[in-house]
Amino acid sequence: MEMETELVLSSSLNYMLPRKRAVGGEAVVVEVDEDNCKAGSLKKPRISTATTGPAKATGNVNTNSSIGDNNSNHSRGDAKPPIMALGEGNPPDIDEDLHSRQLAVYGRETMRRLFASNVLISGMQGLGAEIAKNLILAGVKSVTLHDEGSVELWDLSSNFIFTEDDVGKNRALASVQKLQELNNSVVISTSATELTKEQLSDFQAVVFTNISLEKAIEFDDYCHNHQPPISFIKSEVRGLFGSVFCDFGPEFTVFDVDGEDPHTGIIASISNDNPALVACVDDERLEFQDGDLVVFSEVQGMTKLNDGKPRKVKNARPYSFSLHEDTTNFGAYEKGGIVTQVKKPKVLKFKPLKEALKDPGDFLLSDFSKFDRSPLLHLAFQALDKFIMELERFPVAGSEEDARKLISFAWNINDSLTVGKLEEIDQKLLHHFAFGAKAVLNPMAAMFGGVVGQEVVKACSGKFHPLFQFFYFDSVESLPTEPLDPSDLKPINSRYDAQISVFGAKLQKKLEDAKVFIVGSGALGCEFLKNVALMGVSCGNQGKLTITDDDVIEKSNLSRQFLFRDWNIGQAKSLVAASAAASINPHLHIEALQNRASPETENVFDDTFWENLSVVINALDNVNARLYIDQRCLYFQKPLLESGTLGAKCNTQMVIPHLTENYGASRDPPEKQAPMCTVHSFPHNIDHCLTWARSEFEGLLEKTPAEVNAYLVNPSEYTSAMKNAGDAQARDNLERVIECLDKERCETFQDCVTWARLKFEDYFANRVKQLTFTFPEDAATSNGAPFWSAPKRFPRPLQFSIDDPSHLHYVMAASILRAETFGIPIPDWVKSPMKLADAVSKVKVPDFLPMKDAKIVTDEKATSLSTASVDDAAVINELITKLEKCQKKLPPGFRMNPIQFEKDDDTNYHMDVISSLANMRARNYSIPEVDKLKAKFIAGRIIPAIATSTAMATGLVCLELYKVLHGGHKVEDYKNTFANLALPLFSMAEPVPPKVIKHQDMSWTVWDRWILGDNPTLRELLQWLRDKGLNAYSISYGSCLLYNSMFPRHKERMDRKLVDLAKEIGKAELPPYRRHFDVVVACEDDEDNDIDIPQISIYFR
């Protein structure tokens, strides 16, 4: 059975791998790493191309004439499949600085496949432009833009590339220059003439966004039967309705269905049984599911399980599972072992469009409240195609006659069906469909641009599960709640005419006059700015858009944050993004600020600013900032549109005053942190090693040099602060400063090499020797169990060798950074392995003797490493005396240069040191090592990110923005979304309403804030509450108590103004722009039950 699977995999390989198709005379080669090729199996291939012609072109090349030049190679019925050549591939280099966030999602193999892929996008209205943007940012090899039509003013509602000056130009030609700016390494070419099916053989994937069904069936048939098949995608956006169809050929292999790392578990026991029961340590829950295949390694005793053979899981539980295996006659389990999930390739058999139209199979659902919607839309899109074919135009917005005609086409198609015939057709829905059919709306284009862009990546790489095969979506809830007057839908010769044809001119005016605050100008922020500019938000005389971000542009931003160019690196994000957005729509009224929205900037974002806003859109990358904005929106009762992405996943949350709960009402559980003793002494995975390595890096190269400078800048102040503290932390600080300025002080580069070599000995030999001396391999715990039982791994010391390149690389990187901290020039010879080896050989390494009374923390609950309890104060005085002697030996004005960790500069040696430290430690504990890139993801805490999920999230949010700015929608009209483009999965649901608190005939929620004006006294506030049946027993401002009924002296404050009490007792600083302050009041009802009341705002001006 295994053999058959492998043969399917290898034989299907040439059906899905990218091929270079070029102008005549070039051999098409799929290269496979020889080392990975075993009898009967084939691992992931390396993709490259072999050319017999000149070196391949780079930069902006218009290859219009080359489309179809090599048709003779592919269109004949006897065409041969591409040559399979085994050998060492030469894949293009990946710019890791640029693509680091994308690499964290896709990995190198997928990126290399993308770099070898040629894609056609036909139809350059809003949807085509969005797909092209996402693929060019991802870095495919080439994109060919095809469109026979000319730019119309109508297109400016959805296409961020065109300006009014482009009206009348060919759409494809008008798109090239701006799209090329996104990524100069992608070859962008155009075609403005009619496509023939033979021309499609130039591509691995073809996308059509504006094509008749008749032509689509012809093209798809050609692609499906081509050798190897060409992936065909058809997608349309028609008003608030959209569709996608995918056909990746008769057999398409998905190498990685979900993009998740294989799940693992640390084994605690395995029974000799049939079936065998495998128990794992309760360190982390197992993520295995019944039917998963797993392999075992490092099992002691029952060693037969280490044979690498995949075994099937059944009865999967949180910390155990059974094996489809009889282990009765295996050796008895002793200890150790890791169990790892095996990810299986999956072969999908796609139907061609002609068949799939009649028998579509299961539709991909996005909203279970619309489970019957997809079959109707399947019919609607076919009816629209028939309408356009017969009348040679789209239905007119507001035309009842056209809507009736489209509905009659739908009935006729339905009546002709033998499978899946509908009993009823929702005519109201088809009215909306007909009215908006000509319009391409920007939010819909953004959303579908993300979905389709991701499908192209899947087609070119085999990474993630393709959409199989139809997906329909609508957002009719975005329409105004009142019926639209057909006259309100008529074009007014403006750039918003397409949007007006769907929503009407009245809502367009509301959009234009909106006052919007976008918080953040990164990947989400850039997409939002583009979307709102095209929608006309804040583009009217009354409108204003404020965007703020305190960050500057870095190279790694350019793979997603598409408003930035390489010449903007180092500039303020918000300023550059605002300028780019204004060039998309010159009418946009935008102010760009560089302030972080936080309690410290409430003088900038003051009460007046918040009170004037229509809506707030978050484009943030951290939870704390989101919670702060959430509290502000709650306080000022402003709608907040929230979204976030993580790799191929995205989510959106609508926070609407009085209708929904706020963002902070529900939170994800905090990430589980490894106990300190695990990180310091008992690591069992590479994350622990990298956490330790980053901590050591920061301690040695940033914190200690900064501590040295803190002392040298003002010795007397520093030493008196240490004396006053008098604790273990102060003692530790002093010891580190003395060590740095005395025993470990470096004056020459050779000193830095010595320091690095001795650190190696300390970290990877001596500490391990001490640990295994204190806890030998046969050590037992106090209750007699083996000390070194799972998840603990018994370590072995490393022996330094100048013949080990990884040892020398560590010494080179560590000595360079050490020299930087001391301001010592770095000699060229450090990069010569021979000369560096000579320098290392000069270092005298003292012998190590383990201590008998060493303190090693084993308590998992310990949060800091405690120092031996001696009289800290006496030791601190001694250390200060020693430190003063060290200072006298230093040259005048001596300062150190602390090094702040920067993950995104591959030339600075920071990641070299961290990955070396982590991998040496991993070697101590027999933990698999990682390369520098993977180390960067973990130690640099890089959030995986791709353009497609960002685009999709912002499109979904902007569909909600129509509802918010219209202002009349109910909670059930709003949608929160979770999506995972890798699976693909779309899950939409209405938001959760806020919790309601009731008292007598009153009720309130978290959204309510009670306001008391006219500068009241304490007595007036208490009486005001009493009138509501509430007895206040405590009033506080911040952390200060203004009143408590238990304190008799507080009765003296009754007739004082609350503002005076806040200033005098609460030390309130109330600047001129503040007209109020807030108090928290604790109340009881007449039965002495505590009542949770809203915050109270006291207006004193």
Q: Which residues are catalytic?
A: 677
H runs (alpha helix) in 552-703: 573-584, 607-611, 623-636, 676-681, 686-698
Encoded tokens for 419:
């499978």
Which alpha helices (H) appear in 800-909, and where do they start and end? Answer: 805-822, 833-841, 872-888
3-class secondary structure, 10: helix
Cα torsion at 379, 384, 389, 393 (round to 10°)? 180
Tokens standing for 368? 């279970």
Location of structure tokens 């702060």: 628
My answer on whether omega of the bond before 469 falls inside 30° of 0, hence cis, is yes
CA 38 to chain centre: 37
* Bond into 395 cis (ω within 30): no
> What angle is formed at CA 1006 by the lines to CA 1002 and CA 1010, rounded to 5 degrees?
60
Q: 907: which residues sit within 8 A by CB, 6+ positions away?
A: none
Tokens of 147: 């469109």
CA distance 444 to 447: 5
CB 966 within 8 A of CB 510: yes
Structure tokens that stand for 74 in this block: 């592919």
CB 174 within 8 A of CB 190: no
Structural contact between residues 1086 and 1029, judged by C-beta atoms closer than 8 angstroms: yes
- How is residue 461 written in tokens? 């790489």
Q: What is the DSSP string of 523-551?
A: HHHHHHHHHHHHHTTT-STT-EEEEE---
Quick check: 569 and 993 in contact, CB under 8 A? no
3-state secondary structure of 601: helix
Report residue 591 as tokens.
């102010």
258 with 983: CB under 8 angstroms?
A: yes
Spacing of C-alpha 394 from chain mean position:
39
Residue 219 neighbours by CB under 8 Å, 6+ apart: 195, 197, 200, 206, 208, 211, 232
Task: Report the C-alpha gap between 586 and 648 in whole angstroms.
Answer: 33
User: How many angstroms separate the CA atoms of 123 and 551, rounded?
Assistant: 36
Query: Rounded to an integer, what distance in angstroms lies between the CA atom of residue 576 and that of residue 587?
Result: 17
Helices 427-436 and 400-415 pack at an angle, to 10 degrees, of: 120
How long, in residues, is the chain? 1101
Contact of 145 with 124, CB cutoff 8 Å: yes
Quickly list DSSP for 324-351. SS--TTSPPP-B--EEEEEPPPEEE-PP
Cα separation, 173 vs 48, whole angstroms: 30
Q: How far apart are CA 315 and CA 353, in angstroms?
A: 40
The whole-angstrom separation of Cα 451 and Cα 438 is 21
CB 637 within 8 A of CB 824: no
| Rg for the chain, CA atoms, rounded | 34
DSSP state of 495: T
Pairing of strands 649-655, 976-980: antiparallel
d(CA 289, CA 318): 10
Q: How many CB atoms lie within 10 A of CB 957?
A: 28
